[in-house]
């Protein structure tokens, strides 16, 4: 029998410019710059689409983050931002920014629709039509579009959102029977209303999903996120928000660098020719059949970059146990796509593939994964889930250190990906940290190696420049990517890199 052990995994290091390694991405970027600094065009071509006010606020903010941004306090966990060019080597010429106007009155007209399906479809149409028209008609390419939205779009473009009651509200909609009817409508307006029921009520997800086939990279930004000083009057509220100025600058700049084609950092000590695959499942609300769901996978390479593969729609969901499982043919197809994409980038198949999921793998889907990987790669199935039922306490002001590992046996362990971080002199979160329950359910591998890899994967979230995340990137975006892939009935796309989804 194996011995129960309490271990500590050293903080994974990241690789930056000049092949230098640091633990905190903000330290590494400040001192050495990004990992692919020499391979990225210095002046980036960006565009802004939205109403005049939010566009002006976004343009002003991009000019602001060209210079250093400081936090008034002395907290180590809130380091200053050196500036976009100083940190990433990127330069944005304010005079060369392309702008597409979305008139406020057209947005306000959308808010008159009481039916959220119709309202959000019309809102997304306003932005999508302009972006697609530009990509087809203009010769000057745009690397990243900032979608600048007023707060009303965010407020009334979410699930379960409701507009205030007014006498001039438009109460158009379809009954449940008519939504699924095959009859043809005579008028375009009726056809447009029918189309609205083919999409989810979520402006963010719907717009990203509809732009996938056009390969348009966007970054949605709320006006109050960057211009709260101009919009708010409450002095105390403004002072509280100022604490996050440096964090916002780090996050927006890092995401921009990644979306223009750069890799901000990669893992310094990762094992070569290893591939990590996170399974994505999301139920479809458009079908009557309870088990219908979309499947997909996020693949992360040892270089740090990632890709998303969409699988087929099928009855993968079992309402009795609440789990998702693929049939053998679909499992073969999904893993084959991932392996061939890895080979295309690396000229060879990975030596090992770690498949991360929140549930167990059943015999049929694992047989499919085995068939796809036979003679190519070793595969290991790992179940990862948050566990609040097991805690460790210590007699100090902060919880256990991040990286603490409680080894139960050769296949099971608890891993604290949150906890006290000496570099920041504080812990992530204010409560006693919960561990991740890690279990090797298929294949064989050293449990310590598996946990070390998972801890390292918590540092590959290019959507936020923080010390580390609480979840590995293979699972962090599984739900959000699934929501984008199922934001509409007929969302189609190629196998695209991760930047199109975050």
Same domain for 401 and 293: yes
Domain-terminating residue out of 259, 287, 302: 259
pLDDT band for position 27 (50/70/90)? Answer: very high
H/E/C letters for each residue in 130-178? Answer: HHHHHHHHCCCCCCEEEEEECHHHHHCCCCCCCCCCCCCCECCCCCHHH
Query: Model-level pTM?
Result: 0.90
Predicted confidence at residue 402, as pLDDT, reads 94
Residue 122, domain extent: 41-259
Indicate whether 133 belongs to any domain: yes
H helix and E strand count, the chain = 18, 21
Cβ burial, residue 176 (10 Å; 0-12/13-18/19+): exposed
Q: What percentage of the chain has pLDDT greater than the value 70?
A: 91
Same domain for 334 and 208: no
Region 474-488 average pLDDT:
82
Predicted confidence at residue 184, as pLDDT, reads 44
Q: Return the higher-pLDDT residue of 437 and 201.
A: 437
pLDDT over threshold 90, residue 225 = yes
Residues sharing a CB contact under 8 Å with residue 113, sequence separation 6 or more, in sequence order: 119, 122, 163, 169, 170, 172
Same domain for 232 and 97: yes
pLDDT over threshold 90, residue 365 = yes
Predicted confidence at residue 187, as pLDDT, reads 45
Region 78-89 average pLDDT:
94
Same domain for 230 and 95: yes
pLDDT, tens digit, 9 for 90 and up, residues 275-334: 999 988 877 665 445 557 778 888 887 666 788 887 777 777 777 777 788 899 999 999
Predicted confidence at residue 451, as pLDDT, reads 97
Residues 144, 257: Cα–Cα separation, whole Å: 10
Q: Which two tokens stand for residue 424?
A: 């920041």
pLDDT band for position 168 (50/70/90)? Answer: low
pLDDT over threshold 70, residue 169 = no
What is the number of alpha carbons within 13 Å of residue 101 lying toward its C-beta? Answer: 6
Q: In degrees, to the nearest 5, what angle opens at C-alpha 307 toward C-alphas 92 and 366?
A: 165
pLDDT, tens digit, 9 for 90 and up, residues 440-471: 999 999 999 999 999 999 999 999 999 998 89
Indicate whether 7 belongs to any domain: no
Residues 453, 302: Cα–Cα separation, whole Å: 11
> Across the strands, what pairs with 300?
276, 306
Region 123-136 average pLDDT:
95
Indicate whether 33 belongs to any domain: no
> Which residue has 């693949």 as its token pair?
299
pLDDT over threshold 90, residue 372 = yes
Region 93-98 average pLDDT:
91
Same domain for 280 and 201: no
pLDDT band for position 394 (50/70/90)? Answer: confident
Average pLDDT, rounded, for the chain: 87
The tally of domains found in the chain comes to 2
* Alpha-carbon 63 to chain mean position: 26
Predicted confidence at residue 46, as pLDDT, reads 94
Region 25-29 average pLDDT:
96
Same domain for 300 and 251: no
* Alpha-carbon 171 to chain mean position: 35
Q: Which two tokens stand for residue 272?
A: 């070569």
Same domain for 406 and 427: yes
Q: Whole-angstrom distance between the N-terminal and C-terminal Cα of the chain?
A: 44
Predicted confidence at residue 197, as pLDDT, reads 73
Same domain for 304 and 255: no
Predicted confidence at residue 317, as pLDDT, reads 77
Lowest mean per-residue pLDDT among 70-74, 246-250, 414-418, 487-491: 487-491
Same domain for 219 and 310: no
Predicted confidence at residue 192, as pLDDT, reads 65
pLDDT, tens digit, 9 for 90 and up, residues 232-290: 999 999 999 999 999 999 999 999 999 998 999 999 987 888 999 998 887 766 544 55
Predicted confidence at residue 302, as pLDDT, reads 66
Domain-terminating residue out of 234, 259, 284: 259
Predicted confidence at residue 76, as pLDDT, reads 84
Residues sharing a CB contact under 8 Å with residue 140, sequence separation 6 or more, in sequence order: 45, 98
Indicate whether 13 belongs to any domain: no
Predicted confidence at residue 296, as pLDDT, reads 80
Predicted confidence at residue 185, as pLDDT, reads 44
Contact 319, 290 (CB under 8 A): yes
Indicate whether 6 belongs to any domain: no
pLDDT over threshold 50, residue 80 = yes
CATH number at residue 467: 3.30.420.10
Residues 235, 309: Cα–Cα separation, whole Å: 47
Predicted confidence at residue 325, as pLDDT, reads 85
Same domain for 388 and 252: no
Domain-terminating residue out of 259, 282, 313: 259
Q: In degrees, to the nearest 5, what angle opens at C-alpha 266 toward C-alphas 413 and 10?
A: 40
pLDDT over threshold 60, residue 171 = no
Residues 282, 484: Cα–Cα separation, whole Å: 9
Residues 464, 337: Cα–Cα separation, whole Å: 28
Indicate whether 89 belongs to any domain: yes
Lowest mean per-residue pLDDT among 177-191, 211-225, 302-316, 434-448: 177-191
pLDDT, tens digit, 9 for 90 and up, residues 145-164: 999 999 999 999 988 888 77
Contact 260, 43 (CB under 8 A): no
pLDDT band for position 67 (50/70/90)? Answer: very high
Predicted confidence at residue 396, as pLDDT, reads 78
Predicted confidence at residue 191, as pLDDT, reads 61
> Across the strands, what pairs with 5?
407
Q: Which two tokens stand for residue 92?
A: 């944005």
Same domain for 328 and 456: yes
Indicate whether 3 belongs to any domain: no
Same domain for 299 and 208: no
Indicate whether 301 belongs to any domain: yes
């Amino acid at each position: 029998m194996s011995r129960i052990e309490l271990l500590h995994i050293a903080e994974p290091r990241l690789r930056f410019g000049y092949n230098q390694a640091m633990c905190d991405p903000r330290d590494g970027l400040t001192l050495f710059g990004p990992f692919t600094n020499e391979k990225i065009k210095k002046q980036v071509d960006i565009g802004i689409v939205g109403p005049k006010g939010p566009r002006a606020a976004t343009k002003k903010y991009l000019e602001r983050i060209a210079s250093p941004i400081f936090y008034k306090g002395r907290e180590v966990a809130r380091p200053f931002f050196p500036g976009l060019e100083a940190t990433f080597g990127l330069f944005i010429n304010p005079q060369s920014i392309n702008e597409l106007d979305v008139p406020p009155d057209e947005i306000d007209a959308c808010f008159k629709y009481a039916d959220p399906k119709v309202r959000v479809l019309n809102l997304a149409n306003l932005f999508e039509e302009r972006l697609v028209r530009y990509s087809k008609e203009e010769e000057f390419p745009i690397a990243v579009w900032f979608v600048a939205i007023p707060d009303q779009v965010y407020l009334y473009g979410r699930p379960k959102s409701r507009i205030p009651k007014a006498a001039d509200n438009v109460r158009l909609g379809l009954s449940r029977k008519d939504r699924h009817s095959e009859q043809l409508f005579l008028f375009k307006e009726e056809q447009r209303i029918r189309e609205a029921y083919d999409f989810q009520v979520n402006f963010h997800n719907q717009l990203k999903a509809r732009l996938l086939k056009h390969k348009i990279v966007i970054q949605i930004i709320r006006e109050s996120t960057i211009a709260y000083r101009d919009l708010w009057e409450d002095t105390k509220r403004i002072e509280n928000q100022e604490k996050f100025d440096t964090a916002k600058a780090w996050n927006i700049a890092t995401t921009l660098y990644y979306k223009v084609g750069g890799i901000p950092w990669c893992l310094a000590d990762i094992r070569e020719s290893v591939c990590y695959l996170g399974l994505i499942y999301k139920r479809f609300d458009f079908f009557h059949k309870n088990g219908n769901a979309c499947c997909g996978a996020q693949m992360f390479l040892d270089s740090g970059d990632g890709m998303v593969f969409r699988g087929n729609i099928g009855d993968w969901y079992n309402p009795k146990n609440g789990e998702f499982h693929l049939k053998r043919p679909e499992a073969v197809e999904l893993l084959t796509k991932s392996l061939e994409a890895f080979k295309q980038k690396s000229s060879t198949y990975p030596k090992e593939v770690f498949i991360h999921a929140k549930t167990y793998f059943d015999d049929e889907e694992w047989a499919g994964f085995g068939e796809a990987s036979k003679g190519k790669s070793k595969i290991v199935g790992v179940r990862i889930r948050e566990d609040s039922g097991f805690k460790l306490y210590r007699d100090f002001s902060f919880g256990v250190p991040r990286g603490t590992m409680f080894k139960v046996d050769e296949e099971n362990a608890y891993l604290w990906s949150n906890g006290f971080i000496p570099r920041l002199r504080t812990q992530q979160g204010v409560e006693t940290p919960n561990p991740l329950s890690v279990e090797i359910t298929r294949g064989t591998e050293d449990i310590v190696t598996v946990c070390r890899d998972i801890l390292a994967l918590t540092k590959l979230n290019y959507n936020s420049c923080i010390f580390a995340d609480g979840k590995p990137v293979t699972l962090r975006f599984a739900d959000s990517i699934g929501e984008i892939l199922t934001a509409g009935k007929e969302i189609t796309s190629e196998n695209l890199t991760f930047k199109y989804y975050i």
